[in-house]
Amino acid sequence: MADIVSGKEVAEALKQKLVDEVDELKSNGIIPGLAIVLVGDRPDSLSYIKGAQKRCSEIGIDCRLVQLPADTSEEEFVSRIRQLNQDRSVHGILVMRPLPATISEDRVKYEISPLKDVDCFNPVNMAKVMSGEEGGFAPCTPSAVMEILDYYGIELTGKRVVIVGRSMVVGRPLSMMMLKRHATVTICHTRTVDLAKETSRAEILVAAAGKARMIKKDMVGSGAVVIDVGINFDENGKMCGDVDFEAVKELAGKITPVPGGVGSVTSTVLAKHVIRACRMLIDQEG
């Protein structure tokens, strides 16, 4: 029977460290600030924002919501981002995606200052993730996966890692982050020919496909570490991951639940990035 990996425990431990860091910054008169930009009112975005605001307030980060109407033009959006880039009380900017069709992500993603780009929207930061260069911001979700592995002392060097999903928000950056840590990484996707053959070889299996309970017991090797990034709702409206948790936990070595796994760590990683952005600004100004 697998050990259940608690994302909440990881998040709490990280939170404590961040609270101490913010206390130190505040004693020097600095309050880290995050601006979350939301165009429209998508319920999933609002729910994520609520969680992030709660987390930031617990840690002592000033988190403000910049909510723009759904019909905001690309020009207006860019002008708002430029204002936030200039705003000295804002250290991190998070743009909620997807943006409405009237705003081209491909055009506006270059506008956000890379120094404030705490969730890796700007390709400058993505390039750093891909090349393994230090000093940028990786996306919060793959960073949360790394936090979990590190907290539980799960070594990556030489390990066979299989990631199901190749999106730019999860699978692809995560594969590069793990490669940097010397794992042997296989990325699977919808055109992978024999998915079960690939996944069952994994010592560390990451599911990030967005398909409810698609990873079945016969697709997982005995003793594998199984990290479930998926957030789905089953036919009864119950939240579940990409992994068939009840069955897979019988043979995995470690497994993250949904909810209570990766998702619980993401907003704390966001806070961590805001604090780092704040420190980077202080260092830059000397």
Binding site residue list for NADP(+) = 165-167, 231
Between CA 41 and CA 168, with CA 83 as vertex, the angle to 5 degrees is 55
- Residue among 100 and 210 whose Cβ is closer to ligand NAD: 210
Measured from the CB of residue 257, what is the shortest distance to ligand NAD in angstroms? 12
Q: Which residue has the tokens 């909440």?
A: 8
- Residue among 30 and 179 whose Cβ is closer to ligand NAD: 179
| Binder among 208, 215, 240, 248 for ligand NAD (CB under 6 A) | 208
- Residue among 29 and 43 whose Cβ is closer to ligand NAD: 43
- Residue among 114 and 263 whose Cβ is closer to ligand NAD: 263
Measured from the CB of residue 12, what is the shortest distance to ligand NAD in angstroms? 17
Contact between 136 and 125 under an 8 Å Cβ cutoff? The reply is yes
Distance CA 219, CA 214 (A): 9
Binders of ligand NAD among residues 126 to 145 (CB under 6 A) are: 141
Binders of ligand NAD among residues 214 to 273 (CB under 6 A) are: 214, 229-232, 262-263, 266
Binders of ligand NAD among residues 174 to 193 (CB under 6 A) are: 188-190, 192
In angstroms, the Cα distances linking 58 to 19, 133, 219 are: 8, 31, 40
- Residue among 125 and 266 whose Cβ is closer to ligand NAD: 266
Contact between 117 and 137 under an 8 Å Cβ cutoff? The reply is yes
Please work out the total of residues on this chain that contact ligand NAD, with binding judged by CB under 6 A. Answer: 25
**Which residues line the annotated binding site?**
165-167, 231
Candidates 213, 157, 208; CA nearest to 185 is 157
Measured from the CB of residue 80, what is the shortest distance to ligand NAD in angstroms? 24
Name the site residues for ligand NAD (rule: CB under 6 A).
141, 164-167, 169-171, 188-190, 192, 195, 208-211, 214, 229-232, 262-263, 266
